[in-house]
Structure 1
Amino acid sequence: MLEDHHVGKMVLMKVNSAAVLSSVPLQMVYYFNIFYYIFYFIVTFLMIIYKSRVFSFPDGNLAFDLVLLILMGILEVTKLYHGFKGNLTEEAVPVVTNMVLTIGSMLLSLYYLLWQTYVLKADVIINAILLVIYGLEEVLDIIAVSSFARIYM
């Protein structure tokens, strides 16, 4: 005796899920940049204080070096905010804003590397490291923006 078994039909629905485009390496560079920049800011500030005690600064140069350091700190916070926001929300405009602000940060780092009143070997080392981080960040920013643009534009 054959029994007819009713087998319920299972309906499989295909769900279109968007791929995650946020760049993990870029996010890691941003996080590393936060910690390194805090270190950089403190060390640069302390070296400026040290240089002001040991060397004779021409009029206005000490204030100029300090003002540029504070400006660089403000620029860094703004830059990283846009970078984090753009990468995590997969939006190109904040990442591009970060890229433009990074160029400003690179120029200020070059000032501390080459043109500040007194450049010590420690200045050269910490600014070279910062410039490498900025360069890596710019490359990863370009990759992220191209990835976002390919999908969303």
Structure 2
Amino acid sequence: MAPATFFQLSSFAAGVRSVLSSTPLQVLLYLNTWYFAAFYLAEILMFIYKGILLPYPPDNLVLDVVLLLLFLALETLRIFYAWKGNLCERSLSSFVSLFILFPCAALAVYYLLLQTFVLRLEFLLSAVLLCFYGLELLLGVISISAFSRSRVY
């Protein structure tokens, strides 16, 4: 028997289990963290631009800024739980992050289509953010499935 095969059999016999964390999901979460920071900064600068140069109703500007703050809080929680769930291989944390993903996606759609004035840059940034969300949803569901299948009761 080859030495590599012997070590594989001995680690299997010792009860060592394989790592189930999703590397593509972790890379995507890392990139999403930096992208959302850039998105958030760009949105703040665009709100300053729109508040100064466009006839923005004051109530609508306040609503959009409050929703942006809510977006920051939800996205921070979502990324934290997704990061923790993936690295610790916890189905519940991963599920919570996927649950928070839906309000985040709704806010991204709001900034994509529904706010008072939508700039082309906002449309592009929100569309890219929704692409991140779609990929993270797919990889998150696959990860939760892998975590759940490996659990020994």
Q: TM-score, normalised by structure 2?
A: 0.90
Runs of 4+ in 1 over 6 A off after TM superposition: none
CA distance in 2, matches of 1:121, 1:57: 17
Mean CA deviation greater in 82-91 or 54-63: 54-63
CA distance in 1, matches of 2:134, 2:148: 21
Matches of residues 3-152 of structure 1 in structure 2 within 5 Å?
14-152=13-151
Q: Which amino acid aligns with 2:149?
A: R
CA distance in 2, matches of 1:127, 1:92: 28
- Which structure is higher in helix share? 2
Q: For residues 86-114 of structure 1, give each alpha carbon's deviation from its aligned partner in whole angstroms, at most 9, with x where no partner exists.
A: 00110100001000111110000000000
Q: Which amino acid aligns with 1:44?
A: E
Q: For residues 27-69 of structure 1, give each alpha carbon's deviation from its aligned partner in whole angstroms, at most 9, with x where no partner exists.
A: 0000000000000000011001100111111241011010000
Aligned length: 142
Q: Which amino acid aligns with 1:51?
A: K
CA distance in 2, matches of 1:145, 1:94: 9
Q: For residues 122-152 of structure 1, give each alpha carbon's deviation from its aligned partner in whole angstroms, at most 9, with x where no partner exists.
A: 0110000000001000000000000001111
CA distance in 2, matches of 1:73, 1:59: 21
Measured after TM superposition, the shift of residue 15 of structure 1 is 1.6
Mean CA deviation greater in 49-58 or 29-38: 49-58
CA distance in 2, matches of 1:57, 1:122: 18
CA distance in 2, matches of 1:48, 1:40: 12
Q: TM-score, normalised by structure 1?
A: 0.90
CA distance in 2, matches of 1:46, 1:100: 29
CA distance in 1, matches of 2:30, 2:16: 28
Give the structure 1 partner of residue 4 of structure 2.
Answer: none
Give the structure 1 partner of residue 6 of structure 2.
Answer: none
Note the residue ranges of structure 2 that are not aligned, 5 or more in a row: 1-8
Note the residue ranges of structure 1 that are not aligned, 5 or more in a row: 1-11
CA distance in 2, matches of 1:58, 1:52: 9
Q: Which amino acid aligns with 2:116?
A: T
